[in-house]
Amino acid sequence: MCNKVNSCGTEAVYEVDYILPKEALLYKVIDSSKGLVECTACPRRCKLLDGQYGFCGIRWNFNGKLYLVSYGLAIAVAIDPIEKKPLYHFNPGSLVFSMSTTGCSWACKFCQNWDISQRRVVAGWRLEPELAVKLAMAYGAHGMTYTYNEPIIFLEYAYDVGVEARKHGLFNTMVTNGYMTEEAIDVVAKFMDAATVDLKGHGDKEFVRKFSLVYDTEPIFSALVELKRKGVFIEITDLVVPRYGDDLDKARKLARWIAENLGPETPLHFLRFHPDYQVMDLPSTPIKTLEKHIDVAVSEGLKHVYIGNVPGHRFENTYCPNCGRVVIRRMGFDILSVDLTEDLRCPGCGYKINIAGRVYPTYKLERFAYIPLEAFTEFIHIKSDSIRDFVLYGKRSG
């Protein structure tokens, strides 16, 4: 049980007499005599001594073992359309149970979820994998999505949720920066059905060094190829940032790489930037700039290219690559109409549209839902000076 000891704003600070954190799967011992370990979740490969935590803020070394200290603590949960991820070509029309923890492997200066991703705290709603899946099913979700912050840093938690979800016929998707190791890819491939991989500034390494504190983007492109090879359905987003990340030559290079390495049917979404967090001095991306990106990507052979964050734009729709017919018409995250045969072909010319799964008729319904977690569980905030006790001794006092 959790016992509320005092109030901290709108959050409650708890002393806990049970343990939630879990020893990580993704790490190795470097020097047992020093208690030195290396986290193998993301390419930063943080090397940590006892009491230290990685860049993400939620993977801690205690007594020579690495722990995911936010295991079972979801900071954000919602029911929403799969198109919000965005996944346009994987089970369109479906509802997903979206969830996240705190922390991130990147430090994007323009992050719209900065209050979640850039928090280095151990806090969240107590949400064991079984409860997460039960809530998803109760609210009519068809799948789980690990999103809002970087799922790779809480992969052990996502994996357990995902395995439980599959037992009940739910699919698994994630929204990821793609910055993951070979070891992480092996875990992802065991339970993940689809992934939206979020690039920034065309995946240019100089851009992410400046805005995300990431040294190199090569691990992302390697991960994309490997995830595709292992059967994970891939869609790619590319945040187009004015002045710093809107170069058409770099967009052309990216589109060509996608066509050659992932296939021309791979969906690519160019997302409109808007000012947020620490980057408030740049304007939103001009729509004409995004349209020029579309032209470049199409000229490189990509068949499904979209504009995101511009509700009502014609490039929210899915067109038949062969005859140009609108086969899925959208407005923002909503599907307005579907014009496909049962086997997902264009009814005009018979072209097979690259859609994994099926079209869910629930696209006709309202697909956003608030989940009152306070009715099912409790919010836990572990003070920084209590994390060691929370990890090592919580179970023993239960």
Read off the pLDDT of residues 138-173 as tens digits, 9 standing for 90 and up.
999 999 999 999 999 999 999 999 999 999 999 999
pLDDT tens column, 32-77: 999 999 999 999 999 999 999 999 999 999 999 999 999 999 999 9
Report d(CA 365, CA 93) in Å as an integer.
9
| pLDDT score at 4 | 34
- Domain(s) of CATH 3.20.20.70: residues in the chain: 75-364
User: Of 288, 104, 289, 278, whose CA–CA distance to 198 is shortest?
Assistant: 104
Model's pTM, two decimal places? 0.93
Whether the CB-CB separation of 97 and 147 falls below 8 Å is answered with no
Does residue 331 sit in helix, strand or coil?
strand
* Span 327-336, pLDDT tens digits: 999 999 999 9
**In this predicted structure, what is the pLDDT of residue 6?**
33
What pairs with residue 268 in β-bridges?
236, 305
The pLDDT, as a whole number, for residue 8 is 35
What tokens were used for 104? 């991130």
CA distance 124 to 102: 8
Instruction: Dig out the tokens for 43 from the structure.
Output: 């390419």
pLDDT at residue 3 tops 90? no
What is the C-alpha to C-alpha distance for residues 196 and 174, in angstroms, rounded to an integer?
6
Superfamily for 75-364?
Answer: Aldolase class I (3.20.20.70)
pLDDT tens for 64-115 read: 999 999 999 999 999 999 999 999 999 999 999 999 999 999 999 999 999 9
What mean pLDDT is reported for the chain? 94
CB within 8 A of 131, min separation 6: which ones? 376, 377
Q: How confident is the model at residue 268 (pLDDT cuts 50, 70, 90)?
A: very high
Q: How far is CA 373 from CA 17, 20, 78, 85, 341, in A?
A: 21, 17, 10, 22, 40
Question: What is residue 297's predicted lDDT score, i.e. its pLDDT?
Answer: 98
Q: Residue 170 CA to chain centroid, in angstroms?
A: 17
